[in-house]
Structure 1
Amino acid sequence: MMLDLLFPNRCLECNRIIEADLLVCNLCFSQIHFTHFDYFGHNLLKERCRLLFPVEHAFALMQFEKENLSRKIVHELKYRNREKTGKIIAGWIPQHLDFKNKKPDLLVSVPLHPRKQRERGYNQLHTFTDALSKFYGIPADHSLIKRNHYSKAQALKDKQHRLQAENTFSLTRNITGQHILLIDDVFTTGNTLATIAWEILNRPGNTVSVLVMAMDE
């Protein structure tokens, strides 16, 4: 209570004092660039994924444009130790995505290397994925995919290095006949998701869909 008085939660955009379970005030919320993509239909994310791997469905919640509010929101989650941000963003997803009667079998988020997770203290996608799992009633698995190499943050790499991610990931166990929804924070080149997707698709009967918080320009 005392900390809330001394360090009140403030809107990421206008700095107005807001409730503890919010990221932005009601006025600034309208400035978030939601994509309104159709998960089951054709959209830009699906087109970009299909250039890299066979994808069933794809959905991006926000546009990750330079200097916009969506970028501030994702960076708040990734780099400023605000783990609860993932749960807040997940709460926006059901307003834009209805799986209807075609739910995926499993939610799988992009893993951090164990060293990176120790440095950060948490995987920013776990809280997000767990919140989606609870809402939609779809199991989540944070151990299916293993990151084999420690590397610096994607945001600090140039495009050429982001395209060099062969053998970065591997499956920890064999899975077959599963529809996996891969979850990441930002879709940039798509190389990370493609590397994981092919690990899954190389097993018989598996299919892959994609959900990201935001899609880069």
Structure 2
Amino acid sequence: MFLVDLLFPNRCLECNRIIHHNEVVCELCFDQIHFTHHHHSESNLLLEKCRLLFPIESAFALMQFEEESTSQKIIHQLKYGSREKIGKIIANWTLEKVDFNSMKIDLLATVPLHPKKEKERGYNQLHLFADSLSKELKISCDHTLIKRNFYKKAQAKKRREQRTFNENLFSINKKISNQHILLIDDVFTTGNTMSAVAWQILKEGNNKVSVLVMAMD
């Protein structure tokens, strides 16, 4: 490991300083990340947005996903840079900033990639993140509860067609009821994806849904 670090040193994604191989940004650049602090603030824009789309218990976004920001660079490296281990780093940040005990979660569930896309990428960017949380919180995580039914987004021209597509984008692989599910995704943008997943879970039984994302746009 020492020789690898010497020949191919890990560098901060923001300023290019050499950093420890288990880090993604240096301490100075870490301080520039725009964390939301939703659990310590009366204002929670993610919760407000979700409430417009589906019944929700609680919601938390770790970071703001701003154009050319450090958080954007981190998540892009996680998703497209073959740096799956960044998921564990983000999980550690999340554990420091979210009071999961107050949420009373029964199960963690990740929003899935289509199998074809996951094969192309080589991994699902959410799995190590969610598994790290699961291990520390001692809450089970299910990566197979939700199934993505389509590989590409529908090219719907009408609102009705788009709505029908969203309703059928995901399905639930097993019977589940009386559970408080924490849905995990990387970035919350319009909320269409999260809403489609949430409604499938809510329709299955007397379930409750909360949301955790790495960042919100």
If the length of structure 1 is used for normalisation, what is the TM-score? 0.91
Identity of aligned residues (%): 63
Matched residue SS, 1:198: helix
Matches within 5 A, 1:23-62: 23-38=24-39, 43-62=44-63
Matches within 5 A, 1:170-185: 170-185=171-186
Larger relative helix fraction: 2
User: 59-68 or 93-102: which moved more?
Assistant: 93-102
Q: Is the CA contact (8 Å cut-off) linking 1:162 and 1:189 kept in structure 2?
A: no
Distance 2:134 2:189 in 1: 24
Alpha-carbon offset, residue 144 of structure 1: 0.4
Task: Name the CA shift for 1:178/1:40 in 2 (closer, same or farther; >3 Å).
Answer: farther
Q: Is the CA contact (8 Å cut-off) linking 2:79 and 2:125 kept in structure 1?
A: yes
Distance 1:190 1:142 in 2: 20
Matches within 5 A, 1:45-194: 45-151=46-152, 165-194=166-195
Residue aligning to 1:155: none
1:98-121 C-alpha deviation (Å, 9 max, x unpaired): 122542100001101111111000
Residue aligning to 2:156: none
Matched residue SS, 1:166: helix
Distance 1:36 1:62 in 2: 8
Alignment length (residue pairs): 209
Alpha-carbon offset, residue 185 of structure 1: 0.3
Alpha-carbon offset, residue 4 of structure 1: 2.1
If the length of structure 2 is used for normalisation, what is the TM-score? 0.91
Alpha-carbon offset, residue 56 of structure 1: 0.5
Alpha-carbon offset, residue 95 of structure 1: 1.4
Matched residue SS, 1:9: coil
Q: Is the CA contact (8 Å cut-off) linking 1:40 and 1:58 kept in structure 2?
A: no
- Structure 2: 5+ residue stretches without partners: 154-158
1:196-215 C-alpha deviation (Å, 9 max, x unpaired): 00000012210100000001
Q: Is the CA contact (8 Å cut-off) linking 1:40 and 1:57 kept in structure 2?
A: no
Letter in 1 for 2:191: G
Matches within 5 A, 1:185-204: 185-204=186-205
Letter in 1 for 2:99: D
Alpha-carbon offset, residue 94 of structure 1: 1.5
Alpha-carbon offset, residue 38 of structure 1: 1.9
Distance 1:39 1:167 in 2: 36
Q: Is the CA contact (8 Å cut-off) linking 1:109 and 1:182 kept in structure 2?
A: yes
RMSD of aligned residue pairs (Cα, Å): 1.9
Residue aligning to 1:157: none
Q: Is the CA contact (8 Å cut-off) linking 2:58 and 2:103 kept in structure 1?
A: no
1:16-62 C-alpha deviation (Å, 9 max, x unpaired): 00000000011111000000002896511000001110110000000
